[in-house]
């Protein structure tokens, strides 16, 4: 079997030694073919890098399974072909192209702009790196039909990616996703890619869009007086070498905060991310320098954004004056609670307002929404699904007022149709100012939410399995969970199973099944137990890992009980992990 794979890979790689591939590319392919160790050759060519429903993401390098000018070129050519077919009646089709700080991001963005323009499509190309949410905003602002953001989000430095957007500023969903994939798969040779751009169709954009975007962020704030009274709030911010380095401090200052302290070492824009192992605000180590800076300045809050500034992570001081990280579920709770509470205080909360969360995000959001008469919709993981709910209500009297997911993403308004660290940092700073105005720290505010609505503790576990064999192992793990579901988890009986691949919900007490109302199927399993524990299992759509999401719940009677309840919940999560074998 291994010999067969190697022979197929060698045959495929040999095709890259002729034709329109660059001399540099051919030289690199020849080196891999001549190497005694065939691992790199196999990993680079054993499959084609798939243009999935979210675009491309992969390790940079030469080969069909790598991010390079040819895989990016095929993606852009296929998208161009689809746009020209889908919008054939338009006088001028247009797109926005942006990019982050990663190595080769500017190159891939410029090549994409050239290919779009060579296909007769007008391109609004950002003059330098910009946050992903600003690209989403610009698509809507210019009335474009599509857009591309060159980014691999929070992946390691070896990666880059290509996010494709539709006319509403959201990542692409059915039917366009599969149709575009089909067009991309038709591109079999670099000779089919129009690399020679039409400069007359490429317009540079930048500061003009920045100003409009910041004004929109300002429009969502609910407590300008609290900001004014707490303008000296000490905010430490780090972009982790990424695109937020300019826009986020600028926005914080423009909304009124005068004491924004940046982490000097991480304000250096670099695709090598020299101060971190992983540029991901979900990873505690990524905030180490920011917390050290916060201790030095006795700050009130630490905020971080990932390389393309769509995810936000925060750290706050607890009641022992220790800096602790706030996870994505807790961030969602703070946003949900604040938006609803503040709108009620201002008399602007309406019966037609709604929120959205993903199925793996904490169920405590539903408790808050239900008690306050706000409808909450569940959707699949990913902001394209949150944006899809928003799109379904467009043109009605229903008003979106917030939504997010556990993986450090939130979308506080619909002028952006993706997670938005620029708006989130501004809104979270406002929440800190509002809490201070009410005599509370952010930690005390979070505790009070738990006391009022119930305590939950969540844990995400990612089991990484790299390469071809890893992908096969992940498939086998999901198959086993589906065919042999647990009967109990941490000593509590499983009472309900939701399988989003079959769209069936099974009540284990009576054996009855019901249909789940979702637009498409998804490879996700959920188990619910008698004691309120929820476990979700899904393979990542963008990384070589299988993810487990664990949530346990219990009442919290007072702030004084927090430590004991939190500790007991941690022990319960460990027991759940033991039951699952992770």
Residue 361 CA, distance from chain mean position = 13
Q: Is the pLDDT of residue 51 over 90?
A: no
286: which DSSP letter?
G
Q: Is the pLDDT of residue 38 over 60?
A: yes
Mean pLDDT over residues 14-24, rounded?
Answer: 92
CATH architecture of 231-453: 3-Layer(aba) Sandwich (3.40)
Q: Is the pLDDT of residue 149 over 70?
A: yes
CATH T-level assignment (fold) for domain 68-210: Alpha-D-Glucose-1,6-Bisphosphate; Chain A, domain 3 (3.40.120)
**In angstroms, what CA-CA distances link 24 with 27, 67, 70, 83, 103?**
5, 15, 13, 32, 17
- The CATH number of 455-580 is which of 2.60.120, 1.10.1200, 3.30.310, 1.20.120? 3.30.310
Non-local (6+) Cβ contacts of 43 within 8 A are 63, 65, 467, 468
pLDDT of residue 54: 79
Non-local (6+) Cβ contacts of 575 within 8 A are 490, 491
More confidently predicted of 14 and 469: 14
pLDDT of residue 336: 98
Mean pLDDT over residues 196-205, rounded?
Answer: 98
pLDDT of residue 194: 97
Please report, to the nearest 10 degrees, the dihedral formed by the alpha carbons of residues 442, 446, 448, 450 taken in order.
180
Mean pLDDT over residues 187-212, rounded?
Answer: 97
Mean pLDDT over residues 398-418, rounded?
Answer: 97
Residue 542 pLDDT class (50, 70, 90 cuts): low
Residue 471 pLDDT class (50, 70, 90 cuts): confident
Decide: helix, strand or coil at residue 287: helix
Which of the residues 94, 153, 536, 579 is marked catalytic?
A: 153
Non-local (6+) Cβ contacts of 345 within 8 A are none
pLDDT of residue 18: 87
pLDDT of residue 2: 65
Of 208, 112, 177, 535, which Cα lies nearest the Cα of 387?
177
Q: The pTM is what?
A: 0.94
Angle at 154 between CA 153 and CA 155, to 5 degrees: 100
- Tell me the pLDDT of the chain averaged across its residues: 95
Q: Is 153 annotated in the active site? A: yes
Tokens encoding 445? 């505010």
Mean pLDDT over residues 96-121, rounded?
Answer: 98
- Do the domains spanning 231-453 and 455-580 agree at the CATH topology level? no
Non-local (6+) Cβ contacts of 292 within 8 A are none
Q: How many CB atoms lie within 10 A of CB 2?
A: 8
User: In whole angstroms, what is the distance from residue 430 CA to residue 255 CA?
Assistant: 9
Q: Is the pLDDT of residue 140 over 80?
A: yes
pLDDT of residue 341: 98
Cβ(423)–Cβ(412) below 8 Å: yes
Q: Is the pLDDT of residue 512 over 60?
A: yes
Residue 14 CA, distance from chain mean position = 37
Q: Is the pLDDT of residue 473 over 60?
A: yes
Q: With pLDDT > 90 as the criterion, what percentage of the chain qualifies?
A: 90
Of 343, 335, 292, which Cα lies nearest the Cα of 312?
335
Query: What ranges do the domains of the chain cover?
Result: 68-210, 231-453, 455-580
Of 221, 167, 177, which Cα lies nearest the Cα of 335?
221
User: In whole angstroms, what is the distance from residue 280 CA to residue 288 CA?
Assistant: 12
Q: Which of 419-428, 482-491, 503-512, 519-528 has the highest mean pLDDT?
A: 419-428
Q: Is the pLDDT of residue 1 over 60?
A: no
pLDDT of residue 173: 86
The least confident of 46-50, 146-150, 503-507, 564-568 is 46-50
* pLDDT tens track for 257-271: 999 999 999 999 999
* pLDDT tens track for 248-298: 999 999 999 999 999 999 999 999 999 999 999 999 999 999 999 999 999
Of 335, 390, 404, which Cα lies nearest the Cα of 368?
335
* pLDDT tens track for 339-389: 999 999 999 999 999 999 999 999 999 999 999 999 999 999 899 999 999
Q: Give me the sign of the Cα torsion angle 260, 265, 266, 271.
A: positive
Mean pLDDT over residues 84-109, rounded?
Answer: 98
User: In whole angstroms, what is the distance from residue 82 CA to residue 543 CA?
Assistant: 27
């Amino acid at each position: 079997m291994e010999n067969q794979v190697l022979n197929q890979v060698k045959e495929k790689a040999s095709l890259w030694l002729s034709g329109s591939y660059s001399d540099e590319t051919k030289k690199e392919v020849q080196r891999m073919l001549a190497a005694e160790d065939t691992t790199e050759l196999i990993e680079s060519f054993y499959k084609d890098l798939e243009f999935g429903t979210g675009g491309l993401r992969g390790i940079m390098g030469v080969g069909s399974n790598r991010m390079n000018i040819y895989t990016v070129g095929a993606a852009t050519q296929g998208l161009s072909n689809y746009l020209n077919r889908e919008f054939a009646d338009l006088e001028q089709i247009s797109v926005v192209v942006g990019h982050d700080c990663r190595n080769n991001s500017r190159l891939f963005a410029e090549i994409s702009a050239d290919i779009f323009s060579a296909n007769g499509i007008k391109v609004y190309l950002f003059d330098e790196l910009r946050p992903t949410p600003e690209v989403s905003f610009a698509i809507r602002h210019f009335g474009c039909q599509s857009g591309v953001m060159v980014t691999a989000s929070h992946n390691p430095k070896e990666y880059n990616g290509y996010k494709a957007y539709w006319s509403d500023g959201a990542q692409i969903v059915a039917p366009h996703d599969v149709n575009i994939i089909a067009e991309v798969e038709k591109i079999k040779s670099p000779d089919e890619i129009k690399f020679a751009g039409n400069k007359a169709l490429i317009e540079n954009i930048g500061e003009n869009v920045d100003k409009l975007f910041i004004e929109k962020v300002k429009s969502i704030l609910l407590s300008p007086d609290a900001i004014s009274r707490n303008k000296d709030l000490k905010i430490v911010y780090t972009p982790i070498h990424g695109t937020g380095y300019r826009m986020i401090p600028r926005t914080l200052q423009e909304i009124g905060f005068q004491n924004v302290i940046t982490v000097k070492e991480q304000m250096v824009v670099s695709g090598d991310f020299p101060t971190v192992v992983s540029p991901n605000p979900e990873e505690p180590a990524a905030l180490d320098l920011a917390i050290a800076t916060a201790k030095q300045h006795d700050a009130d809050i630490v905020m971080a954004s990932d390389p393309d500034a769509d995810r936000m992570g925060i750290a706050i001081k607890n009641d022992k004056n220790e800096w602790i990280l706030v996870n994505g579920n807790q961030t969602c709770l703070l946003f949900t609670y604040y938006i609803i509470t503040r709108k009620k205080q201002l008399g602007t909360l309406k019966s037609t307002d709604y929120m959205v969360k993903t199925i793996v995000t904490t169920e405590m959001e539903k408790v808050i929404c239900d008690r306050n008469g706000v409808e909450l919709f569940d959707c699949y993981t990913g902001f394209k699904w949150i944006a899809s709910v928003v799109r379904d209500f467009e043109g009605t009297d229903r008003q979106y007022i917030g939504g997010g997911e556990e993986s450090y993403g939130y979308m506080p308004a619909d002028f952006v149709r993706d997670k938005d660290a620029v708006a989130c940092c501004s809104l979270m700073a406002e929440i800190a100012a509002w809490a201070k105005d009410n005599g509370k720290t952010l930690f005390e505010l979070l505790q009070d939410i738990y006391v009022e609505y119930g305590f939950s503790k969540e844990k995400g576990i990612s089991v990484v399995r790299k390469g071809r064999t890893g992908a096969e192992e992940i498939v086998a793990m999901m198959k086993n969970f589906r065919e042999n579901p647990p009967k109990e988890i941490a000593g509590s009986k499983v009472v309900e199973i939701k399988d989003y691949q079959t769209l069936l919900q099974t009540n284990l007490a009576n054996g009855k099944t019901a249909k789940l109302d979702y637009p498409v199927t998804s490879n996700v399993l959920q188990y619910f137990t008698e004691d309120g524990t929820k476990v979700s299992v899904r393979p990542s759509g963008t990384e070589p890992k299988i993810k487990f999401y664990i949530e346990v719940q219990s009442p919290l009677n007072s702030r004084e009980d927090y430590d004991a309840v939190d500790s007991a919940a941690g022990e319960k999560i460990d027991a759940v992990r033991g039951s699952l074998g992770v």
